[in-house]
Amino acid sequence: MLLVVDAGNTNIVFAVHDGASWQGTWRISTNDQRTSDEYAAWLLLLLERSQIDPKKISRAIIGTVVPAALYHLRRLCRQWLAIEPLIANAALDWGYPVHVDTPEEVGVDRRLNGLAAQHLFGGPLIVVDFGTATTFDVVDAQGAYCGGAIAPGVNLSLEALHQAAARLPRISVGRPSAAIGRSTTVAMRSGLFWGYVGLVEGIVSRIALEMGPPVKVIATGGLAPLFSEGTELFQHVAPKLTLDGLRLLAARNTSYSAIPAPG
């Protein structure tokens, strides 16, 4: 079985794939001070409760946009699972060309989304990832990654609004019942939700115009199901797209093996 670790700015997702389907997916908040032993205590308990034998995990891959977290995630795999993990980076075989000015600057999460979306849905397409940042990634009809756009994420904008305006409360993200808010909280929720729907529709429309129709639009990220309710823009909602990208990348790069368990 394959252990997949997707370390983002807000959360780290651990998942196990048995070659046919995902057997378990678990999420923990990102904290670059968390040690490998802390990860192990948490993960091994969840594996046990999901009836997954850690000894059957023979491969691992880590994708991260948080370099400080990598040391302890790699040590988790080495010390507790006796596996040398594959680290997703630009030097690996991705199976598709990258047509941008500086390929080394493209975040690994964006490349993973492009890889998975192209494999699952075929280009041309746009992936909208509702994460810490809201990213737009473009894959052309030939399967090449062509760049995209980056905007502040929903929760990041929400926190900035609360901190910059002393009288505005901190609110949760949700779809409002009406566009016209008759209280401060509902007005904020309306501005946030419909504002981001408008942002996404506007950016996707401009990208699609440059690409030339038709183009598929894919939503991913934790808030993708929520925002897909507010627009008919998306042909597919794929919350596990980044995990699938890691799984596919591991399948293309098999030249790594388990190391001896620590004594």
> Which residues have a catalytic role annotated?
109
Residue 261 marked ligand-binding:
no
Q: Is 181 annotated as a binding residue?
A: no
Is 132 annotated as ligand-binding? yes
| Residue 107 marked ligand-binding | yes
10 labeled part of a ligand binding site? yes
**Is 129 a known ligand-binding residue?**
yes
Determine if residue 122 is labeled as part of a ligand binding site: no
**110 known member of a binding site:** yes
18 marked ligand binding residue: no
13 assigned ligand-binding residue: yes
DSSP string computed for the chain:
-EEEEEE-SSEEEEEEE-SSSEEEEEEEE--TT--HHHHHHHHHHHHHHTT--GGG--EEEEEES-HHHHHHHHHIIIIIH-B--EE--TTS--SS-B-SS-GGGS-HHHHHHHHHHHHHH-SSEEEEEESSEEEEEEE-TTS-EEEEEEEE-HHHHHHHHHHHSTTSPP------S-SS-SSHHHHHHHHHHHHHHHHHHHHHHHHHHHH-S--EEEEESTTHHHHHTT-S--SEE-TTHHHHHHHHHHHH-----B-PPP-
* Residues annotated in a binding site for substrate: 107-110, 184
* Residues annotated in a binding site: 6-13, 107-110, 129, 132, 184
* Residues annotated in a binding site for K(+): 129
